[in-house]
Homo-oligomer: A and B are copies of this chain.
Amino acid sequence: MDLQAYLASQRVLVDAALGRLLPTADERPGKLHEAMRYSVLAPGKRLRPLLMIASAEAVGGRAEEVLTAACGLECIHAFSLIHDDLPCMDNDDYRRGRLTSHRVFGDAMALLCGDALLALAFELVCRTAEHVPYERVVAALQLVAQATGTFGMVGGQVVDMESEGQDVDEATLTFIHSRKTGALITAAVVSGALLANGSAEAVSDLRRYGRHVGLAFQIADDILDIVGDEAKLGKPVGSDAKSEKATYPRLMGLDASRRRAAQEVAEAEAALAGFGPEADPLRAMAAYIVERDS
């Protein structure tokens, strides 16, 4: 399959939906809505929505059924970036070559913008009840909430922060990575399958796929922070090393990290053995995740 064409067309679908679903600057408070749109509609991979849609399609669902929830995941991703960039966190001025939210709108507005996006995300998942049985909506929402909070992204972020400058073992590194980025990626894949009425067996296979893809994604991110092209990434490289973050390259070196990422991709693909060509986008995305340059 032509992955690039597939990804591009799905991104158009997601971006159009995000444009419709986000509140506009005409509505009060306009400045907040401007800030929400500034971050969410910024150019990006839309990885989590695309994984959710591909997962729904892998179990026989249609993109339209999960599109609103997929947009919710992008809101959660944007919320996490806005809060991560704040002065009390990483204090970053740029993200993908554009000024970060607090540099444009101020710290207070950026904080509240993140909060509003997180609340909106849950509202968007609820709205999939137009297409999906209520029981599935609640199951997906619960997964996404867990993947966002202390047993997911936020918890991973805290341990990541606490580990700066420390010698961490692989168990701690896996803890950080599986939660900081892995949890929401896995939730995207699993909830996509749940919302599209996937069988318990398919959901279980896709959970395994999601875990491996999530870990591969974070290792690839860590590698890009060392060898990436600043122009393509839109941010300075070397920031992990500067703040002595716990990363795979730091723990085991660059070559071993690359092998580990490739191994995770292979395991992700193996988890899809029971699926036919309907899972080709998921297969291609697993490979893309470690080959990307931004």
Q: For residue A149, which residues in chain B have a CB less than 8 angstroms away from its CB?
A: 115-116, 118-120, 123
Identify A115's interface contact among B112, B127, B154, CB under 8 A.
Answer: B154
Are A32 and B116 in contact (CB-based, < 8 A)?
Answer: no
In the complex, whether A107 has a CB less than 8 A from a CB of chain B is yes
- Chain A, residues 76-91, CB within 8 Å of chain B (1/0): the string is 0001000100111100
In the complex, whether A141 has a CB less than 8 A from a CB of chain B is yes
Which residues in window 123-169 of A have CB below 8 A to B? Answer: 123, 126-127, 129, 133-135, 137-138, 141-142, 145-146, 148-152, 154-155, 157-159, 161-162
In the complex, whether A285 has a CB less than 8 A from a CB of chain B is no
Q: For residue A133, which residues in chain B have a CB less than 8 angstroms away from its CB?
A: 134
Cα of A36 to Cα of B108 in the assembled complex, Å: 21
Are A150 and B89 in contact (CB-based, < 8 A)?
Answer: no
Which residues in window 1-57 of A have CB below 8 A to B? Answer: 23, 28-29, 31-33, 36
Cα of A28 to Cα of B106 in the assembled complex, Å: 32
Are A112 and B157 in contact (CB-based, < 8 A)?
Answer: yes
In the complex, whether A111 has a CB less than 8 A from a CB of chain B is yes
Are A150 and B29 in contact (CB-based, < 8 A)?
Answer: yes
Number of interface residues of A (CB under 8 A): 52
- Chain A, residues 206-248, CB within 8 Å of chain B (1/0): the string is 0000000000000000000000000000000000000000000
Identify A111's interface contact among B86, B120, B122, CB under 8 A.
Answer: B86
Identify A154's interface contact among B116, B129, B142, B162, CB under 8 A.
Answer: B116
Identify A32's interface contact among B86, B141, B154, CB under 8 A.
Answer: B154
Are A108 and B120 in contact (CB-based, < 8 A)?
Answer: no
Q: For residue A122, which residues in chain B have a CB less than 8 angstroms away from its CB?
A: 122, 141, 145
Q: For residue A108, which residues in chain B have a CB less than 8 angstroms away from its CB?
A: 88-89, 161
Are A29 and B162 in contact (CB-based, < 8 A)?
Answer: yes
Q: Which A residues are within 8 Å of any B CB, using their own CB?
A: 23, 28-29, 31-33, 36, 79, 83, 86-89, 106-109, 111-112, 114-116, 118-120, 122-123, 126-127, 129, 133-135, 137-138, 141-142, 145-146, 148-152, 154-155, 157-159, 161-162, 175
Q: List 27 A-B contacts (CB under 8 A).
A: A29-B150, A29-B158, A31-B162, A32-B154, A36-B150, A83-B111, A86-B111, A87-B88, A88-B88, A88-B106, A88-B107, A88-B108, A108-B161, A109-B158, A112-B154, A115-B118, A115-B148, A115-B149, A116-B155, A119-B146, A120-B145, A123-B142, A126-B138, A126-B141, A126-B142, A129-B138, A134-B135
